[in-house]
Structure 1
Amino acid sequence: MTNSEPDWLLWAREIQAVAQSGLAFTCDPYDVERYRSLTALAARMMAASSPLAGSAAELQQLFAAETGYATPKVDVRGAVFDRDGRLLMVRELADQGRWTIPGGWADVNQTASECAVREVAEESGYLVRATKLALVHDRGRQGHHPAGPFSIYKLFFICELLDEAPGDEAAGMAPNIETSDARFFARDEIPQDLSTGRILSHQIARLFEHRARPDLPTEFD
């Protein structure tokens, strides 16, 4: 599968990653200035090419906060099915109430599956257990919109319910401030207004297939 993102974004992202990694290892003050110039160049490229990306100054500040060797970020998602085979979806407050499956950035000191379980509890109140890693997708190869400044891996876990009813602020977690609704949908009832930065219709279709056929191997790229 070819990358669905524009060339300018791939080039700017690569320049930023080279600069970030260079700053992590160089001790030469002249190289520090060169890498900082590359960071500023990447910010200007993104700002000039996409009004949604933000200003060059905002992007440069975002990039400056990224330190160490540049690697993709990790997004985890939990595909929770009830006994009737319906998929749990939530409304994202940060994306005008569009629908997705629960998920978010992976946290340190937790395994990927633990992060998925935590995200489900935080965003829906349901306690679940991750049973299978179904999809490992590069966000740029799948057609997610809008495109973002960083490279992202998306991990989708099939999860089973441990309780048919949501808990009260599951597992003692803080009140949910990310989603406004959580419902189960049959395959032919999936909402059309998806949060396409987080989930796409073809990914949902594959998650239903993995739920129906647990023997399917993990799909990647």
Structure 2
Amino acid sequence: MQPKWLEWAKELQAIAQAGLTYSKDVYDLERFEQIRELSVEIMHEHTMVDKQMIKDLFTNETGYATPKVDIRAVIFRENKILMVKEKADGQWSLPGGWGDIGLTPSEVAVKEVKEESGFDVKATKIIAVFDKIRHPHPPSPYHVYKLFIQCEIIGGQATEGMETNAVAFFAENELPPLSVERNTESQIQLAFKHLHNPQEPVYFD
């Protein structure tokens, strides 16, 4: 679970972002800027990250604040799950990434699998919609929904990508060190439930 200070900072940022988007009164706009500055101060005090960097991270979003969407592809072969090794942290994750404007969730899953693993796949069903703050991920400045979409390999071959340097399949009891920013052990275990029981209901939250 995320710490309270991070929860407060993100909520203050969301309030400020909405206020700066919809308010017309010059004094209200000033107050919302102050609220944004408070959220930056909270983040800075607890992380010691440069204030300008935090502000740039927050202020690159405009309009009404909504969660970001991260899409992960769940692919099984011979009772093992496909994972890729992330160059960013040297750990393993399901292929995936941020949702793209103009693409459906399943199209993003197919694209990310091809780019990160080399396999051609088709999306078959959604197995979970996770709220990141409800799961044991590291703290994040964004509120994120994570969509896990099961896919089936239809072609291609294992190939490293721009962001990945290894591709492999792992058994349920032989998982590699996980990139917990991207996926957790409990989430991978839930994915295996759908392998063992195709009628397993979609998980949400």
Tell me the TM-score normalized by structure 2: 0.96
Give the whole-Å Cα distance in 1 for the aligned partners of 2:79 and 2:157.
15
Q: Answer yes or no: is 1:98 the counterpart of 2:91.
A: yes
Q: Hey, what does 1:58 align to over in structure 2?
A: 53
Q: Hey, what does 1:109 align to over in structure 2?
A: 102
2:20/2:29 contact within 8 Å kept: yes
Shift of 1:208: 0.7
Give the whole-Å Cα distance in 1 for the aligned partners of 2:110 and 2:34.
41
Give the whole-Å Cα distance in 1 for the aligned partners of 2:76 and 2:13.
39
- What is the aligned residue count? 205
Give the whole-Å Cα distance in 2 for the aligned partners of 1:110 and 1:157.
14
1:158/1:211 contact within 8 Å kept: no
Q: Hey, what does 1:178 align to over in structure 2?
A: 163
Q: Answer yes or no: is 1:162 the counterpart of 2:154.
A: yes
Give ranges in structure 2 of 5+ residues lacking alignment. none
2:121/2:154 contact within 8 Å kept: yes
Normalized per residue, which structure has more strand?
2
Q: Answer yes or no: is 1:36 the counterpart of 2:33.
A: yes
Q: Hey, what does 1:27 align to over in structure 2?
A: 24
**Aligned match for 2:64, one of 42, 63, 69:** 69
**Aligned match for 2:173, one of 182, 188, 191:** 188
Q: Hey, what does 1:172 align to over in structure 2?
A: none
2:68/2:142 contact within 8 Å kept: yes
Q: Hey, what does 2:74 align to over in structure 1?
A: 79
Q: Hey, what does 1:171 align to over in structure 2?
A: none
**Aligned match for 2:193, one of 200, 204, 209:** 209
**Aligned match for 1:121, one of 109, 114, 126:** 114
Shift of 1:176: 2.7
Shift of 1:142: 0.4
Give the whole-Å Cα distance in 2 for the aligned partners of 1:104 and 1:111.
13
Give the whole-Å Cα distance in 1 for the aligned partners of 2:56 and 2:149.
33
Shift of 1:9: 0.8
Amino acid at match of 2:117: S
Tell me the TM-score normalized by structure 1: 0.89
Give the whole-Å Cα distance in 2 for the aligned partners of 1:74 and 1:6.
21
Give the whole-Å Cα distance in 2 for the aligned partners of 1:176 and 1:183.
13
Give ranges in structure 1 of 5+ residues lacking alignment. 168-174
Shift of 1:25: 0.7
Shift of 1:164: 6.2
Shift of 1:129: 1.0
Give the whole-Å Cα distance in 2 for the aligned partners of 1:31 and 1:92.
44
SS at 1:76's partner residue? strand
